[in-house]
A and B are shown apart, each in its own frame.
Chain A
Amino acid sequence: MPKKAALHHPITRRQLLAAASVGGLALSRPAWAERMIDLPLPGGPGARQVTTAFPQKGTMILQRTRPPLLETPFEVFDKGVFTPNDQFYVRWHWALIPTEIDIDKFTLTVRGHVNQPLSLSLNDILRGLPSVQLSAVNQCSGNSRGFFWPRVPGGQWANGAMGNALWTGVRLKDLLDRAGVKSGAVQVRFKGLDEPVVADAPHFMKSLDIDHARDGEVMIAYAMNGEQLPLVNGFPLRLVVPGWYATYWVKMLNDIEVLDQPDTNYWTKVAYTIPDTPHASIKPGETGVKMVPINKMVPRSFVTNIASGTKVEAAASTTLRGIAFGGDCGVASVDFSIDGGQRWHQGQLGKDEGKYGFRQWQAQLTLPAPGAYNLLTRCSNSNGVAQPDAPNWNPAGFMRNAIESVNVIAV
């Protein structure tokens, strides 16, 4: 087994009080925070530190140091459909994250309602099972939470808690078949190496229905974009659940348990639930709504080459470029509007790298006269679902996918 993380920053009450008494620490910014960025979150605060202090990571927006929440700077999404590993966003729930992993000692167990429990080395997985590849978007359930209005507590992300990678690994189905799922299995539960600081706090675990787990698409990835995963993205193994929110993509996966009863653990049954309503949307303050576990993603699209506030030339051709994804299926079209949504024009789609991945799109447009314009983009997916006009609202800040806008000034 990998060495358990020594409590990364052991803090005792006495040490805290000692540190507090020094005084100077109180308002200091960590020495490694290099500069600031301002996220356009309604009502603020939008100021965030930009950091390169995390191992194997490049420039990231710091949302939380421990456990790490790191956001991808939005300009990264203009470079292509595959998000570089060193700028792929990071989100952990618990602070005890192993920082040392020996690939010769790591094991993945498959147990529970199976005929043959397995304990597999990384070599067993890399050499003993067929390798598969898939491009898929990994998006935090709460991506864009900072744009909710009224605002809600939680990670105050802008739009950068998402990324797309080419994942290489093995099919979960192949692993389960090797273990031999017994009849009567209903769900499969996944657990990683991270642990809560407080011993009796609920270990982070997520479950999928047995048929989903065996659909042949859910995979266990040992590589993203052709490289091993960065530690903070889940090295050495991460569950990949194409089309589903990232909460299911368990990092540092080392335990798979086949259940013969529905999972009642906190992280599956209580946390990460959404109102069972269209767009998971309710009115602020509304209560008594049936809640269900968050599940499939919904379509989104963004302009990536022009930021709000940019000046463009009036009565001249301007290139609009961006990314889109269909959610749980491919992108059918990306449309844009320069008149607040009265008329829509179809953008040109880039190369299809797989239905679960980002798809680049591009358009030429002409803003007829000087003035302010609100450019809208709308993705429709291959299931016929389009982004809604109005933003959704729920108390956890999940599943935002309203039509996005970019304000530009034609001069």
Chain B
Amino acid sequence: MRGNLRTVVVLLGVASVPAVACAAPPFELKSLKLDLPDADQMFPAGPGSDAINNNCLACHSADMVLIQPPLSKQAWTMEVNKMINSYRAPVAPEDVGPIVEYLTALKSVK
């Protein structure tokens, strides 16, 4: 009896849904388990490349840095300082200069 009553309630519930919503089944989500591709590219070897590889690649891959337009030393200094001050990149103070020099040199040869 109780089971029958529940069935009736469910049917009434379905019947009260507007026709347009009945046309499509309820939206179903499926769990995801995926892998993102590797980012193993290093900065090309050169003066300061150890400093930039050691300090920068933990948070982001090298590729976007390597496709920046030519930027001045001042602009690169601001970028590196933004990473340290705003994004808390734990860059050793003695590495800041070599990183800026590396980036400035990298772009000036392009």
Contacts and interface: CB of A to CB of B under 8 A. Distances in A.
Interface residues of A, number: 71
Nearest to B107: A45
Contact of B90 (A47, A65, A94, A198): A198
Q: Is the interface of B mostly helix, strand, loop or mixed?
A: loop
B87 A153 contact: no
Contacts of A127: 26
B93 interface: no
A30 B110 contact: no
Given A30-B37, A197-B58, A198-B90, A45 B64 contact: no
Interface residues of B, number: 44
B94 interface: no
B89 A198 contact: yes
A99 B36 contact: yes
Interface stretch (A52-60, A292-300, A304-312): A52-60
Interface string A21-50: 001011111101000000001011101110
B58 A17 contact: no
B9 to A, nearest CB: 16
B34 interface: yes
Nearest to B37: A53
A20 B53 contact: yes
16 contacts: A16-B42, A19-B40, A20-B45, A44-B69, A44-B110, A47-B67, A65-B39, A66-B36, A68-B36, A69-B64, A99-B34, A153-B69, A198-B58, A222-B29, A223-B27, A232-B36
A235 B29 CA distance: 10
B33 A9 contact: no
- The listed residue with most B CB atoms (<10 A of its CB), out of A49, A103, A232, is A103
Closest 9 CB pairs of A and B: A64-B64, A151-B69, A65-B39, A66-B39, A55-B34, A201-B88, A53-B37, A65-B61, A100-B33
Contacts of B4: none
Contacts of B26: 126-127
A198 B110 contact: no
